[in-house]
Chains A and B, each alone.
Chain A
Amino acid sequence: MAAAPEPVEPEERKSLKLLGFLDVENTPCARHSILYGSLGSVVAGFGHFLFTSRIRRSCDVGVGGFILVTLGCWFHCRYNYAKQRIQERIAREEIKKKILYEGTHLDPERKHNGSSSN
């Protein structure tokens, strides 16, 4: 009978560090923000160039666009990430409470049913 395969630990993604210190692979929201920032930079810079034909100023607009879009995406994503963590924590605690108190007078479901019938 073949032995069951040993469980393999999930591999940490190979880290890509921008400027040598920002780990975009393992930092939540970093990859998403940098990618959207790059897209925003290209759109803003190229769009400015199409309208003005000024190369240097378009590069400046591109860099400014990168910074603003990256920052905007970063805060938006981190805000949603924080909300998600709070919801996960609440769900985890409720599951723990449910397992711990099921069938007793402290059962959260019993309290909820009791209050709705009243």
Chain B
Amino acid sequence: MAHAAQVGLQDATSPIMEELIIFHDHALMIIFLICFLVLYALFLTLTTKLTNTNISDAQEMETIWTILPAIILVLIALPSLRILYMTDEINDPSFTIKSIGHQWYWTYEYTDYGGLIFNSYMLPPLFLEPGDLRLLDVDNRVVLPVEAPVRMMITSQDVLHSWAVPTLGLKTDAIPGRLNQTTFTATRPGVYYGQCSEICGANHSFMPIVLELIPLKIFEMGPVFAL
């Protein structure tokens, strides 16, 4: 989960998120250099004594400041498109879960094995145990195996919602009447938090998502079906 006042990305828990962080670092370095150049140009503009207002025909400079931004954009676009297509790859998921958004809670359906269906409500502050996270913890977590490709089918029963887990690099809109799909493979066990990411009413901020990722061996023993 994010720590207080965190601005940067959370640590990656999936290969896609690792690629997104690498791309983010790459784009940020280019942005930094452009900002540096612009700040220097601004400084020169503010401190120059030159006041010639009849400058014209700077063909070489015009050529440079047309071609250079195009090159920079290509340097950013190519890795971006690569990751975009990578996120659309379907790598034979071994497990499918449906996630249905409601006002203001999530319903999860494990229909591959046994037909388990449950709701996931945010824990009200009065019901928090010591150590629980306010506005993040839920009564029933989504329990999933680590290092197994998982397919999430996301939809909504009423208004628009969005199922997001930043550490996995996931954000998929839950649209009524439409079934969206996202896949992911978690690389390390743990408890990971997300929040609804599409405005959906008064309690939009109070319908979090909690994933509990456990080793495959323990998952196979069936703790998730002991509800």
B partners with A: yes
Q: Which residues of A contact B (CB under 8 A)?
A: 18-19, 21-23, 26-30, 33, 63, 66-67, 70-71, 74, 78, 82
Q: Which of B7, B28, B36 touches A67 (beta carbons < 8 Å)?
A: B36
Residue on B nearest A64 in the bound complex, by CB: B37
Residue on B nearest A89 in the bound complex, by CB: B15
Question: Min CB distance, A114 to chain B, in Å?
Answer: 29
- Give chain B interface residues in 21-64, CB to chain A under 8 Å: 22, 25-26, 28-29, 31-33, 35-37, 39-40
CA distance A19 to B32 in the complex (A): 8
- For residue B177, CB closer than 8 A to chain A, the reply is no
Residue on A nearest B18 in the bound complex, by CB: A85
Q: Assess whether A23 is in contact with B8, with CB atoms less than 8 Å apart.
A: yes
Interface size for B (C-beta < 8 A) is 15
Q: Assess whether A30 is in contact with B25, with CB atoms less than 8 Å apart.
A: yes
- Chain A residues with CB below 8 A from B33, complex form: 67, 70-71
Q: Assess whether B32 is in contact with A22, with CB atoms less than 8 Å apart.
A: yes
CA distance A22 to B30 in the complex (A): 10
Residue on B nearest A62 in the bound complex, by CB: B40
Residue on B nearest A28 in the bound complex, by CB: B25
Q: Which of B32, B37, B40 touches A21 (beta carbons < 8 Å)?
A: B32
- Chain A residues with CB below 8 A from B40, complex form: 63
- Chain A residues with CB below 8 A from B25, complex form: 27-30
Q: Assess whether A18 is in contact with B32, with CB atoms less than 8 Å apart.
A: yes
